[in-house]
Structure 1
Amino acid sequence: GVAIHLTKCIPVQAGLGGGSSDAAATLRALAKVWRVDRQSVREAAVTLGADVPYFLEGGTVLGLERGDVLFPLPDHPRRWVVLVIPPFGVSTQEAYAWWDESRRDRGPKRGRDRARSAGSLALPDEVAENDLQSAVSKRHPEISRIVASLRRAGSSCSAMSGSGSAVFGLFETKGAAFDVAGALKRGNRSAIVTRTLTRAECRRLAAK
């Protein structure tokens, strides 16, 4: 057996995949200790959660079905990311329940349909959608206000992350990201600057 001590740094109930990434990192470590092949690790990941296989892969991917059927895509250019964490969390179970309630009122995804018909994988702001965002924002309007603030500040793409409550905004330069993060910190709201990683960078980090 093994003894594992986990120090959590990723906020809980923020839609940032903290639990899933912890699970993937643990699987990688155990695979090294016990010399388990990659396919067996992936099969184990699927049983732990829909997002866990992604964190074994990393980089830009297309996720189908529950999100666990993955197809690697060319990595997007590096972007600096501002993560804004409101002073409240969102339960994944509640977020999906709210989405179920709102499905009857959803309109067509025109921006997404245009991108599909054009065969485009680009992610301009009008196409990068989170279907849960509208339902969650109705209960937590601050999420919509943060998204709007990031867009006004020059973010090329901003949306709620996962099932919330965190919101991300993409910026081309590190300086711009830090300026915006500083401006959006207030009260119990925090803002973190990080950057996107390529698939190769993810695998190098995982190998350490």
Structure 2
Amino acid sequence: MRISVKAPAKINLTLDVLYKRPDGYHEVEMVMTTVDLADRVDLWPLASDEIRLECSASYVPDDMRNHAYKAALLLKERFGVKQGVRIYIEKQIPVAAGLAGGSSDAAATLRGLNKLWELGLSLDELAEIGAEIGSDVPFCVYGGTALATGRGEKIALLQAPPPCWVILAKPPIGVSTADVYGNLRLHEGTPHPPTGDMLAAVRTQDFGLMCRSLGNVLEEVTVELYPQVRQIKELMAASGADGVLMSGSGPTVFALVQKEAKVQRIYNALRGFVKDVYVARILGCAEAEILA
């Protein structure tokens, strides 16, 4: 028996950091949504009591450094599961890109193993377990669109944003989320994204307001460390994108485009500058992601 689970990438329509908490984490407020750029996680039962992880990308770790492996081990130990599992990840989402690829793989593993091992856990219970793995995992368990608060683990589901094309471009660099947060200096003049306006844009399906409300408080930190991010943003805007923003802690930048005629022009302009360019659509609503 094989179970296949779709693991979609996420983008941040807004990312605000409010303050640093006593526990060392940052209090955040983010509107996130899924796009149809996705990994696939395949799961098979093993007779032997072990976790065996393989990935189409050779540079992805196959041990506790991998969020999907952590997810399997956590479920196994928490519920005393004696059956083993083979996990195969077909990677499409770039690594260390600000698109929650590893977190989405972990969430897909949680959902798939819940079925494979017949644990009978609800999405809320899986999300609570996922929060022990990483701050983006709870959102990825639910999928769709949500307002995330706390350290990112408190999820309020939203309706899908206005439909549009999403062009994503990742420069050939990896960004450490810890380094970006470590270099963030919040002060009285720090510009914060208009989260309320973004929520209104989603609620009223106002594409123009959605584009005007894009904002990421981490962006200025990342562009100072990696000027390529600013160059991609400027190129997207000059090529006619309706809205442009860096996702997560970067380095991936995305452009929102409503008219399909603009998509190829922006894609071609970016391909002359960076290799990793992807065209996707906003998924926006949670879908049945267990494929088999």
Pairwise same-fold verdict (TM > 0.5): yes
* Residue identity opposite 1:41 in structure 2: L
- Corresponding residue for residue 46 of structure 1: 131
Secondary structure, counterpart of 1:149 in structure 2: helix
Bigger proportion of residues as helix: 1
Scaled by the length of structure 2, what TM-score is found? 0.63
Picking from 171, 184, 196, the partner of 2:257 is 171
Q: Residues 88 and 165 of structure 1 are in contact (CA less than 8 Å); yes or no, is this contact kept in structure 2?
A: yes
1-side partners of 2:141 and 2:263: how far apart?
27
1:29: Cα distance to partner?
A: 0.7
* 2:94 paired residue number: 11
Q: Match of 2:70?
A: none
1:54, 1:68 within 8 Å by CA — same for their partners in 2? Answer: yes
Distance, in Å, in 2 between the alignment partners of 1:95 and 1:89 is 12
1:31-87 CA distance string (max 9 Å, x none): 011222213322211111110111111222111111111111121121111001111
> What is residue 120 of structure 1 aligned with on the other side?
200
Distance 1:193 1:6, change over 3 A: same
> Take 2:151 and 2:135, find their aligned partners in 1: how far apart are those partners?
6
Question: What are the equivalent positions in structure 2 for 1:29-178 lying under 5 Å apart?
Answer: 29-36=112-119, 37-38=121-122, 39-99=124-184, 102-104=185-187, 106-109=189-192, 112=194, 115=197, 120-122=200-202, 123-178=209-264
TM-superposition CA deviations, 1:130-171 (whole Å, max 9, x none): 111001101111211211221222222211111111100011
With the length of structure 1 as denominator, give the TM-score of the two structures: 0.86
Q: RMSD between aligned alpha carbons?
A: 2.2
Question: Match of 2:51?
Answer: none
Q: For CA contacts below 8 A with separation 6 or more, give which structure has more relative contact order.
A: 1
Superposition deviation, residue 183 in structure 1? 1.4
Change (3 A) 1:184 1:113: closer
- Structure (1 or 2) with the larger CA radius of gyration: 2
* Cα pair 1:133 1:160 within 8 Å, conserved: yes
How many residues were matched structurally?
Answer: 201
Deviates more, 1:139-148 or 1:79-88: 139-148
Alignment counterpart, residue 190 of structure 1, candidates 276, 280, 288 = 276
Shift of residue 179 of structure 1? 2.3
Paired with 2:195 and 2:252, the residues of 1 have a C-alpha distance of 26
Which amino acid is 1:69 matched to?
K
Residue by residue over 1:113-133, the C-alpha shift from the partner in whole angstroms, topping out at 9 and shown as x without a partner, is: 8838xx834553342111110
Counterpart position of 2:66: none
Task: Determine the C-alpha separation between the residues in 1 that align with 2:145 and 2:170.
Answer: 23
CA contact (8 A) 2:191 2:217 kept: no
